[in-house]
């Protein structure tokens, strides 16, 4: 489609963005709650929808070797390095519709606006929809952005989902070649910067009555997988003193983690978000339990110490209860600082749109944690209602969608590569 030259940006971008948020949310494994998981038919359908929007916005669009959607809007001439924008389009289970898609869809809308006005910049603009940021299916995360950063760990291909399907098998079933993930990698020379718009997923912007915020850093995280083994037995016959109950042991571990992280440790947070007890029957003492631990802090040294202390607590509990323990780190990411020069670009765009340039760290993980290996990273946060996220009640007001889009568009048009 030929680009039409129109006047400067004055139209509302939020109508289209909100419509597309809802259209993408309709692509879900389960009709009553949103779950869009890596390497599933829903991943494929979402990729096709997003690539169509990219093409409508004047971009060349393709699916890369791990299932990221990649759109490119050339600059004043072809082959220029790019300002990369984007976010992820996978979701957690029973998800909200804004976590990830808002950044991706807003970036496409901004490029569409440039395209409609016939604007070409002295750099290319690329928009990436990352295929797996949440890490729901396999015991690893940031798979899409790690592939682009060239840091994808091939051993992840052997990881299995809850049905026992390996990532390698899932990739083949999806139509991708697990032996060519390296083809997704981009060279640092191709990128001028990576900027992501994302909902805040917390209550700070709302408390400050601000629609947008400038992110200073993305907090580091460690995830662990724990397995406790005791002895399954009859719920009616084994006296309490003779039991090796793996679930009661796990319960004690979970409370110990909560207590440890609650005792004022400067932003340290710990979560057990998944647990499975086997064999899982009312009248059987649980013989085996697996659960996950997620530990985060804006300070890497605190997080590392906390992980060591928590593992020691678990070992003590397990020893006292005569259980067997298997504990493994499944994910570890350092705190990623946003580049000061790029943060300044974000702050200037925020101010130019009439808002206060309020700075805040991100407690949530983002694809920038992987992209930092090939580009300087910055983020723009958009307020979400009540700070609620990873929850179907997640919501962003139209006016805040519009504010985020205007700031991002301003940032793109005023962007100057690091001098």
Map the footprint of ligand GLV across residues 197-216, applying CB under 6 A: none
The conformation of residue 241, written as its DSSP 8-state character, comes to: G
Q: Which helix (H) or strand (E) holds 364?
A: none
CA-CA distance, 232 to 247, in Å (whole number)? 10
Q: Give the shortest CB-200-to-Mn ion separation in angstroms.
A: 11
Q: Is 144 a binder of Mn ion (CB under 5 A)?
A: no
Q: Which of 57, 250, 364, 396 binds ligand GLV (CB under 6 A)?
A: 364
Tell me how far, at minimum, the Cβ of 186 lies from ligand GLV, in Å.
22
Kindly determine how many residues on this chain lie close enough to bind Mn ion according to the rule CB under 5 A.
Answer: 2
The one segment of 25-33, 96-104, 373-381, 399-407 that binds Mn ion by CB under 5 A: 96-104
Q: How many CA atoms lie within 13 A of 171 on its CB side?
A: 25
How near is the Cβ of 396 to Mn ion at its closest, in Å?
Answer: 13
DSSP 8-state symbol, 397? -
Query: Using CA of residue 273, residue 274, residue 280, residue 285, what is the dihedral sign?
Result: negative
Residue 100 binding target from ligand GLV, Mn ion, none, CB below 5 to 8 Å by type = Mn ion
Give me the residues paired with residue 34 across strands: 95
Position 134 contacts ligand GLV (CB under 6 A): yes
- The residues in 162-191 that bind Mn ion, with binding defined as CB under 5 A, are none
Does residue 294 contact residue 271 with C-beta atoms inside 8 Å?
yes
CB nearer ligand GLV, residue 14 or residue 145: 145
Phi, psi of 148 (to 5 degrees): -70, -35
Name which position in 99, 196, 200, 402 contacts Mn ion (CB under 5 A): 99
Cα atoms in the 13 Å half-sphere on the side-chain side of 137: 28
* Minimum CB distance to ligand GLV smaller for 39 or for 409: 39
* Other C-beta atoms lying within 10 Å of the C-beta of residue 91: 29
Q: Report the nearest approach of Mn ion to the CB of residue 189 (Å).
A: 28
- Binding site partner of 365, from ligand GLV, Mn ion, none, Cβ cut-off 5-8 A by kind: ligand GLV
By the rule CB under 6 A, 365 interacts with ligand GLV: yes
Binding positions for Mn ion, 15-34, rule CB under 5 A: none
d(CA 295, CA 9) in angstroms, rounded, equals 43
Stretch that binds Mn ion, among 93-101, 161-169, 211-219, 242-250 (CB under 5 A): 93-101
Q: C-alpha angle 417/376/95, rounded to 5°?
A: 120
Report the relative pairing of strands 212-218 and 377-382 from DSSP bridges: antiparallel
Q: What residue 376 binds from ligand GLV, Mn ion, none (CB within 5 to 8 A, per partner kind)? A: none
- Draw the binding track, 79-118, toward ligand GLV (x: CB under 6 A; -: no contact): ----------------------------------------
Note the Cα 370 to chain centre separation in Å: 11
- Nearest residue (beta carbon) to ligand GLV: 365
Q: How far is residue 318's CA from residue 229's CA, in Å, rounded to a whole number?
A: 9
Q: What is the DSSP letter of 337?
A: E
Q: Of 100 and 249, which has the nearer Cβ to Mn ion?
A: 100
Which structure tokens are listed for 305?
């110490």
Give yes or no for residue 90 binding Mn ion (CB under 5 A). Answer: no
- Which residues of the chain form contacts with ligand GLV (CB under 6 A)? 134, 364-365
- Which residues of the chain form contacts with Mn ion (CB under 5 A)? 99-100
């Amino acid at each position: 489609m030929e680009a039409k030259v129109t006047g400067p940006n004055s139209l509302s971008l939020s109508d289209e963005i909100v419509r597309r948020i809802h259209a993408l949310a309709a692509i879900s494994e389960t009709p009553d709650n949103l779950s869009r998981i890596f390497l599933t038919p829903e991943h494929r359908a979402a990729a096709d929808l997003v690539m169509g929007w990219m093409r409508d916005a004047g971009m060349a669009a393709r699916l890369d070797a791990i299932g990221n959607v990649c759109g490119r809007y050339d600059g004043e001439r072809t082959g220029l390095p790019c300002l990369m924008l984007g976010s992820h389009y996978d979701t957690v289970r029973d998800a909200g519709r804004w976590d990830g898609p808002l950044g991706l869809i807003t970036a496409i809308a901004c490029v569409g606006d440039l395209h409609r006005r016939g604007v070409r910049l002295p750099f290319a603009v690329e928009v990436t929809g990352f295929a797996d940021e949440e890490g729901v299916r396999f015991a690893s995360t940031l798979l899409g952005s790690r592939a682009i950063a060239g840091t994808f760990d091939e051993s992840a291909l052997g990881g299995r989902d809850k049905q026992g399907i390996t990532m390698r098998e899932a990739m083949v079933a999806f139509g991708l070649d697990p032996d060519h993930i390296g083809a997704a990698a981009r060279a640092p020379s191709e990128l001028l910067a990576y900027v992501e718009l994302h909902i805040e997923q917390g209550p700070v912007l709302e408390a400050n009555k601000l629609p947008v915020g400038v992110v200073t850093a993305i907090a580091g995280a460690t995830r662990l997988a724990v397995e406790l083994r005791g002895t399954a037995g009859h719920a009616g016959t084994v006296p309490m003193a003779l039991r090796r109950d793996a679930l009661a042991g796990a319960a004690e571990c979970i409370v110990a983690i909560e207590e440890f992280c609650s005792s004022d440790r400067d932003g340290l947070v710990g979560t057990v978000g998944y647990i499975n007890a086997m064999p899982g029957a009312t009248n059987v003492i649980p013989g085996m339990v697996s659960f996950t631990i997620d530990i985060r802090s804006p300070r890497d040294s605190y997080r590392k110490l906390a992980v060591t202390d928590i593992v020691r607590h678990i070992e003590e509990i397990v020893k006292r209860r005569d259980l067997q323990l298997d504990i493994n780190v499944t994910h570890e990411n350092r705190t990623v600082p946003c580049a000061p020069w790029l943060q300044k670009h974000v702050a200037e765009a925020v101010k130019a749109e009439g808002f206060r340039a309020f700075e805040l760290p991100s407690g949530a993980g983002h694809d920038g944690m992987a992209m930092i290996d090939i580009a300087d990273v910055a983020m723009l946060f958009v307020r979400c209602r009540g700070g609620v996220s990873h929850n179907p009640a997640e919501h962003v007001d139209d006016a805040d969608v519009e504010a985020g889009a205007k700031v991002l568009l301003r940032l793109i048009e005023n962007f100057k590569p690091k001098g």
